[in-house]
Amino acid sequence: MSPDATARIETAERVLQAARTVVGGSADVDVTVEHDHVALTRFANSYIHQNVASDTDTVTLRIHADGRTALNSTTVTDDAGLAALVERTVAAVRLSPADPGWAGLSGRAGLPVPADEPDLATGGAGPEARAEQVKAYVDAVGGLTAAGFYRNRLVVTAYANSEGQSVHGTVVEATIDGIAKTESSDGASRQASRRMSDLDGAAMGARAAAKALASQNPVELEPGEYEVVLEPTAVSDVLWALADFGFNGKSLIEGTSFVRLGEQQFDASVTLIDDPLSGPAAGPLFDTEGTPRDVLELARDGVTRAVAHDRRSAREAGAGAGAAGIGAGIGAVSTGHASAFSAVEGAQPINIRLEPTVGLAPTEVEGPAADSSVQALVAQVRRGLLVTDHWYTRCLDPRRLVMTGLTRNGVWLIENGEITRPVKNLRFTQSYPEALAPGRVLGIGTYAPAFASKYGAFSAMAPALRLAGWNFTGGASG
């Protein structure tokens, strides 16, 4: 146990006991103490222009008493600050409205065992280590202009509640995200991992430069449905949308999710897993309610199996099974996906992975295809598009999960298995589940790199995808 974890556990227990003393022994009380260290190196115009780091301790206290619930947080963690947190939370719970959805506290339970211990060197890496990777990125870009960031993060969390549950854990992550620019084009590359040693700044820079050079002088293409090869960067956006709007217990209960448990909703080649235990994607082993997280099988061989739950949605799923057409929710339990926002937004997978095709590890290749895994899918396409990235995606219809957005950072026409010319960016309007429906997935890459989400503390492991069709609804001219 690291000294940081020990100190946070002691703080959690101290606040828990103080709150119970004031509010009374019959109340439900839980406390989360989180230390978040984030360090960032930014670069633009091919040189580092900023190093920043922050260390924040946050203590969150939740009390449920007499059918009412109140929650407060503070970053003032001295004795006076913690006493004030207890005082105002006790005062708030006495004035709060009734909370009929309260599902109680998690009981005592041990955590699953991850494949590897957290790499504390990654979480605590200094600016020199980040600068070394940034330099490799910039050098590989060559005469083009490079911009982006390198970030490492370490989060130490301790949780304790009045039911006797007490757990702690550490999450580390490093990520590199950058672009290479010409006067008329750009190319991007990004990747994340639990270990800095998995990230190769030189390979990322070379990839971005190759894409930027191959994107110059693009042609405009008529909108329509095209066969596509989505690179892992674009597939990560698809996975996050599936997790956010679909595999979300609250959304399923409320009837706004596309999910139909037990049905063949995806092609038989599609298996989706939420996995905090293995692979490079970083994830916590317990949630904000102290419930352990384990591997959760969301879909297997195209059949939808499960959604993510916190304690509230699990309770409601069990109580409402049948009435809402969610018979598979009978006996639902929390899957360990509670968050600070899940009571409102629902629980969602945060380490979603599309299982890649078993095969050889990819090699870097020249040209716009990122690696040999992508190139192998491109070689199978008679006429279609290679798409590097999605940008500014928004949900139009959550029940079908129709998303709209733009391509970005490189699009190319594929003809007879060859990448022939760059294409101007296109707008798409596409149901993500329908794009992955039976018979629509024509190939999955052999390599699933990890990506850190732009939208929150999520990660995804995404191989490339070859899909039978993708609806492009607008071109560069409208």
**Taking residues 217-244, what's their average pLDDT?**
96
Provide the CATH number for the domain formed by 3-211 in this structure: 3.30.2290.10
* Mean pLDDT (the chain, rounded): 93
pLDDT in tens, 277-304: 988 988 999 999 999 999 999 999 999 9
Q: Supply 244's token pair.
A: 């956010």
Q: Angle, to 10 degrees, between the axis of helix 201-214 and the axis of helix 127-141?
A: 30
Angle at 248 between CA 244 and CA 252, to 5 degrees: 125
The residue count of the chain comes to 478
pLDDT in tens, 28-78: 999 999 999 999 999 999 999 999 999 999 999 999 999 999 999 999 999
* Domain positions in the chain: 3-211, 214-239+355-474, 259-353
**Taking residues 246-263, what's their average pLDDT?**
97
- Count Cβ atoms within 10 A of the Cβ of residue 349 and give its class: 0-12 exposed, 13-18 middle, 19 or more buried: buried
pLDDT of 436 > 70? The answer is yes
pLDDT of 329 > 80? The answer is no
pLDDT of 107 > 80? The answer is yes
Give which of 368, 417, 418 is closest to 388, Cα–Cα.
368
Q: Supply 300's token pair.
A: 């297997």
Contacts for 475-478: CB closer than 8 Å, 24+ residues apart: 475/220, 475/221, 475/222, 475/223, 475/424, 475/426, 475/427, 476/220, 476/424, 476/425, 476/426, 477/220
Is residue 157 within 8 A of residue 336, CB to CB? The reply is no
Give which of 393, 465, 410 is closest to 179, Cα–Cα.
410
pLDDT in tens, 352-408: 999 999 876 677 766 777 677 899 999 999 999 999 999 999 999 999 999 999 999
pLDDT tier for residue 136 given thresholds of 50, 70 and 90: very high
Residue 79 gets which letter from DSSP? H
- How far is 475 from 250, CA to CA, in rounded Å? 36
- How far is 169 from 1, CA to CA, in rounded Å? 9
pLDDT tier for residue 476 given thresholds of 50, 70 and 90: low
